[in-house]
Structure 1
Amino acid sequence: MPNLKAQYSNLKNLIVVTALLLFFGCASIQTPQGGPKDTKPPKVLSMLPKNLTRNFNAKKITIEFDEYFNINDDFKEFSISPEQEKPPILKKRQKRLEITLQDTLEKNTTYTLNFGKAIADVNESNVVKNLSYVFSTGPEIDSLSLSGNVSSAVTGEPEKDVVVFIFPIERDTLFGKRKPSIYTLTDSAGTYRLNNLRKGSYKLYALKETGSDKIYQQSSDEIGFLKDPIVIDKNLDNINLKVFKELAPEFRVVDRKLNNDGSISLSFNQKLKNPKLTVADPPAADVGKRVYFNKTNDTAKVWVNDLSFDSLKLAIQDQGKVLQTVNFTRSKKDTYTRDLTIADNLSSNKLNPYQSLTLTFPFPITAADAAKVTLLEDSVQRTNFELVKDSIDFLKYYVKYPWKQKRTYDVKFGAGTFTAIFNAKNKEVNKTFKLETSDSYGTLTLKVVVPDTSKSYVVEFINEKKLPIKSSVVRKNTPIVFANYPAGKYFIRVIYDENKNGFWDTGNVKMGTQPEKIWYATKEMSLRANWEREEQLEIPLTPPSIQTSPVVPTQPTPPNSEITPGLREAPKPVKRN
């Protein structure tokens, strides 16, 4: 009889060995963990024929990289200049890129192959930026260049990865469907350089696009341009561009919806100047309607009193002219949900000592019952407060009371304190806060000196995010007071208001108009707590290309006296008593 015990032992050993082999075999193919992330794009090791080859007659170009790569969107990213009817074919062979030329090459011509963002590594998709290959079919290579900087027309900040391109003047196709063949991308400092250009006249553009087709989409992209053609007959430097968002040439409602609370929301592609909304049909729905526009007049919200309509026609007007009519339909089975919440202007449970307690609602308020409000000051009930409706904004109410420092306030808004449209009522809401000390705020008095009293300027007080806090239209030497703002970093921005309408106007490519100029005073206007600061702002005649701060301290100026340009010495900030 066979030795069953021995066989069992051998089988057991075989299973153990197999399991170990499988374990170590599987472990050996795992990707190593940790280590720094690869941020470097593929590096070019060689080009054959060599870059900048003269008397070129090859049919194939080979570029070798130091790692494996992918070709992404070559149809959009790759271009050859001059263009060919049969474009080159791109193929990858391990770490080599092969470009096969299909069309006949012109004699004595410089060609530039631009790869855009088409080449990236396999693992992290690190892009080889501004990769190009240049050759000439004759004994000379075009060697002219064009360089400069691209920045934002609004912020003045350099723009990274903006496409800068030129079109020969005889075929300016910005508004066509052909992408440029001569282009480059700006670096992190916003600088660009176009090389190997031939002598000629060109139109120059900068395109900050949301896609990657290098074709200007007016609805979404930003554009910069030189109005007049640029003649390239020598190397040109410091040709700077500012990109901006054009206004849509024709008004259009870009978004509209009937919300689940019964309100109607609208978004426009333009900022309207004097907007008005009218319910054209049914006429009865226009009676008692409420319309709320945002600050820039490019969105609106509408509430109608009667939601029994099957369809509703809404007309959008600006300056008395009907721009568009939109229709809304609803089912009689539709139901609506309304939650009357109460937002406030408290920050970290503290109230600005220069403001009332401000309440903001999502629906128009039709009634308020102050008897349902309970106000406690250090646990002692107070009744000498007022509940005041905003005179213009039907979404706001104020609680007015002589708030005091170092006191704790508890305010309870009982259920049904506020009644909104369609009889919506709030649930009970409790708010606890203290009054922020006035010592946390500062004031800036800015004595403005204008370079030309026949022109208009908009002086804006802005925060670190370059958002305007307050603005003033200035046409003569005058002081501006920015009073009682939280201590922190602030700056001054000046708009050269060419058309004297009180705000910044963008440009238009077809009309050849540039956006209104903006100048940032480089001196920081910090506000210290409980201090009053005085500065003099001398607005330059035109914004300098390299800005140096014209904002200088000043001596105190007697009341009603003229500001003396060039005054430089300043006193220390005055601490409040």
Structure 2
Amino acid sequence: MQHKLLLFLCASFLMTLMLIILHSCANIASPSGGEYDIVPPVIKKASPAFNSLNVTTKTIVIEFDENIKIEKPMEKVIITPPQKSFPVIKSIGKKAIVELEDELHPNTTYTIDFTDAIVDNNEGNPLENFSLSFSTGDRLDTLAVSGKVLSANDLEPVKGIYVGIHSNLHDSAFTKIPFERISRTDSKGDFTIKGMAPGKYKIYALNDLNRDYKYDNPQEAIAFSDSLIIPTTKPDIRQDTIFNKVDSTKIDTIKTIHYTRFLPDNILLRSFLSDFQRQYLQKHERPEPYKLMLYFAAPTTFPSFRLLNPPIENNNWFVKESTRHNDTITLWITDSLIYKTDSIHMEINYVRTDSTNRNSIYTDTLRFTYKQPKVKKTSSSKEKEEESLRFLGLQHNIQSNHEIYQPIRLEFEQPVIAFDSTHVKLFIEKDSTFTLVNYRLIKDSLNIRKYELRPRWEPGGKYRFVVDSAAFKSYYDLWNNKIEQTFTVKSLEQYGNLLIEMVGLPENKTVHVELLDKSDKPVRKIMVKNNEAKFQDLHPGTYYARLYIDENKDGVWTTGNYEQKRQPEEVYYYPRQYEIRAFTDHEESWDVNEVPVTRQKPLEITKNKPEVKKRRNPNEEQRTNTSSSRSTNPFLQNP
């Protein structure tokens, strides 16, 4: 019995030992302990070799000292000249392999820029700014240019947009011919175009929706420079700071590094969408018997139309209401014979964009029908009473604590036949007595149902607003109900004022300054006069500011147009913030040229914030580069 027990224990021990060995073999991992690996993959060799000449192969193999991965190759790897068919990019063990699908161009320098796509297999340490170049001819082009792409209207960094060049200096090259060489912006909007030959170039940015590397779609965001680009080099120096390995707060040494600087390295491209928009009629409807609605896909000119059924020759049968750019139009039918007709036919002439992106007048026939809602079989006496007592809707913007800079705004549910201001009264309380207040009445130029009352507010004053009942009648026989409301206008102690003295503005230009909230949205706008922007009655809080040069003096920021060679209107951001306190006058100075445009927008309101690389080890960031040129131009070489 003891012998059998001994055999069983020995067998169990051997089985456990085998399981431990098998488990150890199946889980290959870095040994525990020791220093953390923070070193990126090291290149051992490449085929073809770096800077090779007269290359004929379309397969590029790069071998490293450890197993690697290629992250997001379609997004991060940039091959120039641009390829029509995207190449096969893969990693096998220690090798990165690129298989080009397009035929090689003769006497051309090819550059495969991996950016930071190559990482080691375990810790994911990236090999930064890695690229390989070779030539199909007997000369290798090595020049480079770099810069930044910002969104023109808000100076946001534009990520992932193509930047390309043309040695063909004709304007049509951008729209007819694919780019000769390309780059793509990173999360900061930075780009570098490599492998350029000496010469003169035009440079563009393109959000290439169909990946043909040319601007053939007005829905693609673009940027273009008015100046020619001439790539050059010059010797330069930078300071490299090396921190102590034991105490990373202490500097170990500062080295002076000589290198070759590629110029220009500060190109600024301002990206914009053209003001071109396809114009067409999206839909039409008749939500009420007396109301015809037209919805257009883009801003347009006001269309012309005539009724076919019932046949009416004049245009006295309606009053019109429209948005500022006529993309929504309402026709209020005022002739009862027409709006009592079940089906209305209309001939309309409007602007429509054809398949070649050209606008022309298009004639169409529209049919408007109205279906009466189903009538309930039984209605309570209360419902019948409510129907008989239906009033004309009238909305206003009065708050119990009214803003001192706000007028009173009124909007009727339906157009009214006439607005009699004697039935709209505003009173102020003086010595417990309400006294009538005068105001200016302003009728909205687009919406016939809107009116503004502009009194001279007394800070802290107590007011009463009254609209007499049955004072206004709509075209459809509805009368208003009485409105009476008391309210107080805020006192000056609740506001702050801001005066900005502007420095560096172009002469004889119209300039508008906008105050922004923390989400980068405008809250106030004012025109600069005598180099000053005055904002009164501001709520206490944090504000940011931007301005635009209003070249066409239309009061709004205007985008660019490549066909007209018109750049978008210039935008500047105040690089800091304004803290407004109640009952305080703030005076500030803003020099628009104090900080480069590329660094003006405060990070707090920047939406496209640069990607922050994960720190893989507390001691990883021991080497810090203090050279600004190195951070903005990754194409740096030691001589």
Give 1:90's aligned residue.
88
Residue 397 (structure 2) pairs with residue 345 (structure 1): yes
1:215 and 1:371 mapped to 2: Cα distance? 63
Unaligned 5+ segments in structure 1 are: 1-42, 121-126, 550-577
Give 2:526's aligned residue.
471
Shift in Å, 1:101:
4.4
2:92 and 2:477 mapped to 1: Cα distance? 71
Given that 1:286 and 1:304 are in contact with CA atoms closer than 8 Å, whether structure 2 keeps it comes out as: no
Residue 367 (structure 2) pairs with residue 330 (structure 1): yes
The one-character-per-residue Cα deviations of 1:516-548 (angstroms, maximum 9, x if unpaired) are: 3333344544432222334566777x9965788
Question: CA, structure 1 residues 510+339, in 2 after alignment: closer, same or farther (shift >3 Å)?
Answer: farther
Given that 1:52 and 1:141 are in contact with CA atoms closer than 8 Å, whether structure 2 keeps it comes out as: no
Which of 418, 424, 449 pairs up with 1:395? 449
Largest Rg, 1 or 2: 2
Given that 2:48 and 2:61 are in contact with CA atoms closer than 8 Å, whether structure 1 keeps it comes out as: no
Given that 1:202 and 1:231 are in contact with CA atoms closer than 8 Å, whether structure 2 keeps it comes out as: yes
The residue matched to 2:267 in structure 1 has which SS? coil
Give 1:39's aligned residue.
none
Question: CA, structure 1 residues 104+228, in 2 after alignment: closer, same or farther (shift >3 Å)?
Answer: same
The farther-off stretch of 512-521 and 492-501 is 492-501
Given that 2:572 and 2:600 are in contact with CA atoms closer than 8 Å, whether structure 1 keeps it comes out as: no
Which of 267, 279, 287 pairs up with 1:252? 279
Give the residue type in structure 1 aligned to 2:319. R
The one-character-per-residue Cα deviations of 1:20-58 (angstroms, maximum 9, x if unpaired) are: xxxxxxxxxxxxxxxxxxxxxxx9887853673524454
Give 1:52's aligned residue.
50
Residue 257 (structure 2) pairs with residue 240 (structure 1): no
Given that 1:442 and 1:527 are in contact with CA atoms closer than 8 Å, whether structure 2 keeps it comes out as: yes
Given that 2:286 and 2:368 are in contact with CA atoms closer than 8 Å, whether structure 1 keeps it comes out as: no
2:168 and 2:479 mapped to 1: Cα distance? 65
The farther-off stretch of 220-229 and 422-431 is 422-431
Give the residue type in structure 1 aligned to 2:175. F
Alignment of 1:484-499 (within 5 A): 484-499=537-552
Which of 455, 461, 464 pairs up with 2:514? 461
The residue matched to 1:175 in structure 2 has which SS? helix
Alignment of 1:74-473 (within 5 A): 81-82=80-81, 90=88, 98-101=97-100, 105=104, 109-113=108-112, 133-137=132-136, 141-169=140-168, 173-176=173-176, 179-180=178-179, 182-208=181-207, 214-216=213-215, 218-234=217-233, 235-236=262-263, 237-248=265-276, 252-253=279-280, 255-258=282-285, 260-261=287-288, 262-267=291-296, 269-270=298-299, 276-281=302-307, 284=313, 286-287=315-316, 289-295=318-324, 297=325, 299-305=327-333, 306-307=338-339, 308=341, 310-315=344-349, 324-325=361-362, 327=364, 329-335=366-372, 344-345=396-397, 350-360=401-411, 363-366=414-417, 390-392=442-444, 393-397=447-451, 420=474, 422=476, 436-446=490-500, 455-464=508-517, 465-467=520-522, 469-472=524-527
Shift in Å, 1:227:
2.7
Give the residue type in structure 2 aligned to 1:238. N
Higher relative contact order (CA 8 A, sep 6+): 2
The residue matched to 2:493 in structure 1 has which SS? helix
Give the residue type in structure 1 aligned to 2:540. A
Residue 583 (structure 2) pairs with residue 530 (structure 1): yes
2:127 and 2:283 mapped to 1: Cα distance? 42
1:221 and 1:493 mapped to 2: Cα distance? 26
- % identical equivalent positions: 23
Shift in Å, 1:148:
0.9
- TM-score of the superposed pair, with normalisation by structure 1: 0.63
Given that 2:348 and 2:366 are in contact with CA atoms closer than 8 Å, whether structure 1 keeps it comes out as: no
The one-character-per-residue Cα deviations of 1:268-323 (angstroms, maximum 9, x if unpaired) are: 645x7xx655434455573253334445x263322231444633234569xxxx97
1:106 and 1:179 mapped to 2: Cα distance? 14
Question: CA, structure 1 residues 535+130, in 2 after alignment: closer, same or farther (shift >3 Å)?
Answer: closer
Given that 2:219 and 2:274 are in contact with CA atoms closer than 8 Å, whether structure 1 keeps it comes out as: no
2:468 and 2:69 mapped to 1: Cα distance? 67
Shift in Å, 1:214:
4.9
2:322 and 2:128 mapped to 1: Cα distance? 44
The residue matched to 1:511 in structure 2 has which SS? coil
The one-character-per-residue Cα deviations of 1:97-141 (angstroms, maximum 9, x if unpaired) are: 754446664565422346899999xxxxxx999986533346753
Give the residue type in structure 2 aligned to 1:201. K
Give 1:513's aligned residue.
566
The one-character-per-residue Cα deviations of 1:152-195 (angstroms, maximum 9, x if unpaired) are: 2222333233221123327864223x653622222232221112
Shift in Å, 1:451:
6.2
The residue matched to 1:194 in structure 2 has which SS? strand
Question: CA, structure 1 residues 350+324, in 2 after alignment: closer, same or farther (shift >3 Å)?
Answer: farther
The farther-off stretch of 161-170 and 93-102 is 93-102
2:283 and 2:348 mapped to 1: Cα distance? 11
The residue matched to 2:510 in structure 1 has which SS? strand
1:84 and 1:162 mapped to 2: Cα distance? 16
- TM-score of the superposed pair, with normalisation by structure 2: 0.57
The residue matched to 1:469 in structure 2 has which SS? strand
Unaligned 5+ segments in structure 2 are: 1-39, 120-125, 234-261, 352-358, 375-389, 602-639
Question: CA, structure 1 residues 232+371, in 2 after alignment: closer, same or farther (shift >3 Å)?
Answer: closer
2:209 and 2:418 mapped to 1: Cα distance? 46
The farther-off stretch of 482-491 and 391-400 is 391-400
Give the residue type in structure 1 aligned to 2:284. K
2:485 and 2:360 mapped to 1: Cα distance? 44
Question: CA, structure 1 residues 289+387, in 2 after alignment: closer, same or farther (shift >3 Å)?
Answer: farther
Question: CA, structure 1 residues 84+538, in 2 after alignment: closer, same or farther (shift >3 Å)?
Answer: closer
Given that 2:287 and 2:370 are in contact with CA atoms closer than 8 Å, whether structure 1 keeps it comes out as: no
The residue matched to 1:240 in structure 2 has which SS? strand
Question: CA, structure 1 residues 478+433, in 2 after alignment: closer, same or farther (shift >3 Å)?
Answer: same
Give the residue type in structure 1 aligned to 2:151. S
